[in-house]
Structure 1
């Protein structure tokens, strides 16, 4: 969990546009196991510890469901504290009859599902970072079957009470139509390091040698269009910096490559090459 606190730069809150706020709220509480932090007629924010917002969903007026693949969210990923927590999520999904995918990525073990609007969700646990394999600055990652026989031997501390309190937003994975533009924005501009080039169509980047805080891929093709503001999907997400000085330095890096950074009432934000809003905050 050291990769999601000072002095690292990491991802914080994710904001999604949904087509039915009431149904999506039930999904994220009853299925995913998040707790409501704040709620209004058009927006609900979720937490696990009662303090930090991990996810916000909103139903804008006139919002439309996507009919085709676009740039935007591939998945957001909730990081659990330990393996027994992941086993507990598996048992919970089985009990509810929830369909889910899975993958052992060497650095982590993960479950995958989608919400009611098709927004991708990963729930995962990291392996000990001392056991990750690095070679020439690249961390070894792949996708193999999860050993559920081993996983389900992990015993829960208690019955299902939702996701554990110290769950955090582990990373975001974005669907893009141009890897090079996104590498320039996130690496040359924001200063993240490339930690894995997964084939020719995916890139994983991080700070402080995490396996990835952000990833992006062109698996849906380089022809896909950018999502419209009126469509369901990713509205914005937050990048958290350890200090104002480091944030200022990264903002300067973005401006050096021609990216516009906006300021409103002391808050800073920008847009990535897929037109996704990124809020730039300080821990």
Structure 2
């Protein structure tokens, strides 16, 4: 957005907002080693490999969609993560449909020995934060039903960040 872009409304809302049904469809990540990336996203998190192009690219999904995540080495084979203090992707966020599904993801991470960098309750959601093998930030989260979101007395959204109880989360796993 340029400084000449006109905005109006609360918190600089655009004069003509995007359609509310718009969603982020997929993300492509530059990775140094395709097999290492697949070992994380497919073997640990459980995404399904939809198509692979040798050592250059792979497309993975949940539930048979053509792809939610593209992994490629087109510009990054053997590369290193960007150094701190540079611009780029902060994290990708993977939305789980239920708290039990997020608990299963936590269990998978623990079994694979993948460390968490954070775990937060934001009122609207519960989230786990970690890095993939290429240093890309990854958020795994589930959204609470909208009617449970914290609100101010005048009805405005009031998100927060509190420590997430991981033992309680794990206890919600479906058998």
In the alignment, which of 20, 23, 45 is matched to residue 32 of structure 1? 45
> In the alignment, which of 120, 145, 152 is matched to residue 163 of structure 2?
145
Which ranges of 4 or more aligned residues in structure 1 deviate by more than 6 Å? none
Offset, 1:137 = 7.6
Mapped to 2, the partners of 1:22 and 1:80 lie a distance apart of 24
Name whichever of 144-153 and 36-45 sits farther off.
144-153
Q: In structure 1, list runs of 5 or more residues that go unmatched.
A: 1-5, 158-283
SS of equivalent to 2:162: coil
User: What are the ranges of 5 or more consecutive residues in structure 2 without an aligned counterpart?
Assistant: 1-18
RMSD value over aligned CA atoms? Answer: 2.0
Structure 1 equivalent of residue 72 of structure 2: 58
Report the Cα distance in structure 2 between the residues aligned to 1:139 and 1:7, rounded to whole angstroms. Answer: 17
Partner of 2:113: 97
Q: Of 71, 78, 90, which aligns to 2:94?
A: 78
Q: 1:133 aligns to what?
A: 150
Higher relative contact order (CA 8 A, sep 6+): 1
Equivalent in 83, 88, 104 of residue 88 of structure 1: 104
> What TM-score does the superposition give when structure 1 sets the normalisation length?
0.50
Match of 1:12 in 2: 25
Secondary structure of the 2:107 match is helix
User: 1:156 matched to which residue of 2?
Assistant: 174
* Paired residues of 2:124 and 2:159 also in contact (CA < 8 A): yes
* Pair 1:107–1:21, CA change in 2 (3 A): same
Q: Which has the higher strand share?
A: 1
